């Protein structure tokens, strides 16, 4: 008797509970890291895209995914692997993810990077465009440090990453 009901959609719900260990308002789903979920009988395989390659959070995320999925019933094996194609780019961050980043005080990456390569960042606190870049590099590989000249707050922004 099959009463087993493990679907991709409840796995995605579970993955929504796995947060970025360094930005705990945003899930790995909203970061655009989940490329593929395969359910085969009682086995699950999750393909994740790494954000920055030297990011020390990658192994923590892998373990958190396994632990979260173990809480679902009737699973025999869970495989979580990082794949490198397609490359992770910041346009994969979802609309909800963009809001969650702002909640954390991080300006979301641009939806589209103009051909000139210019990067305009609005303040995540007051939405002012009157900001300046203090350091392209920040406290983690994926963040830059900026300053808002309107509300006088320092803030961070997610560094745009694009294949163009």
- Residues near another protein, by CB under 8 A: 50, 52-56, 81, 83-85, 87-89, 134-141, 145, 159, 161-163
Assess contact for 99 and 105: CB atoms under 8 A: no
Instruction: Write down the H helix ranges in 94-153.
Output: 95-103
Of 52 and 125, nearer to another protein (C-beta) is 52
Tally the C-alpha atoms within 13 A of residue 24's C-alpha that lie toward its C-beta.
3
Of 24 and 134, nearer to another protein (C-beta) is 134
Q: Measured from the CB of residue 42, what is the shortest distance to another protein in angstroms?
A: 23
Q: DSSP letter string over 35-55?
A: EEEEEETTEEEEEE--SSTT-
Q: Measured from the CB of residue 151, what is the shortest distance to another protein in angstroms?
A: 21
Q: Measured from the CB of residue 85, what is the shortest distance to another protein in angstroms?
A: 5
Backbone angles phi, psi at 146, to 5 degrees: -130, 175
Q: Measured from the CB of residue 149, what is the shortest distance to another protein in angstroms?
A: 18
Assess contact for 34 and 12: CB atoms under 8 A: yes
For residue 107, which of 117, 97, 115, 116 has the smallest C-alpha distance?
97
For residue 133, which of 108, 159, 113 has the smallest C-alpha distance?
159
Q: Measured from the CB of residue 46, what is the shortest distance to another protein in angstroms?
A: 15
Of 44 and 88, nearer to another protein (C-beta) is 88
Of 14 and 106, nearer to another protein (C-beta) is 106
Of 7 and 135, nearer to another protein (C-beta) is 135
């Amino acid at each position: 008797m099959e009463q087993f009901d493990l679907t991709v959609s409840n796995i995605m719900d579970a993955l929504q509970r796995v947060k970025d260990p360094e930005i705990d308002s945003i899930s790995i789903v909203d970061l655009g890291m989940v490329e593929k979920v395969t359910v085969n009988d009682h086995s699950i395989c999750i393909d994740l895209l790494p954000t920055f390659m030297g990011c020390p959070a990658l192994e923590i995320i892998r373990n958190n995914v396994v632990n979260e999925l173990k809480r679902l019933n009737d699973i025999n094996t869970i495989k979580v692997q990082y794949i490198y194609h397609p490359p992770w780019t910041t346009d994969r961050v979802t609309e909800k993810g963009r809001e969650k980043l702002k909640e954390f005080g991080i300006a979301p990456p641009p939806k589209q990077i103009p051909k000139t390569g210019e990067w305009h960042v609005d303040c995540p606190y007051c939405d002012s465009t009157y900001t300046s870049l203090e350091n392209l590099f920040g406290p983690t590989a994926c963040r830059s440090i900026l300053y808002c000249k309107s509300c006088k707050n320092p803030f961070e922004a997610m560094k745009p990453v694009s294949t163009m």
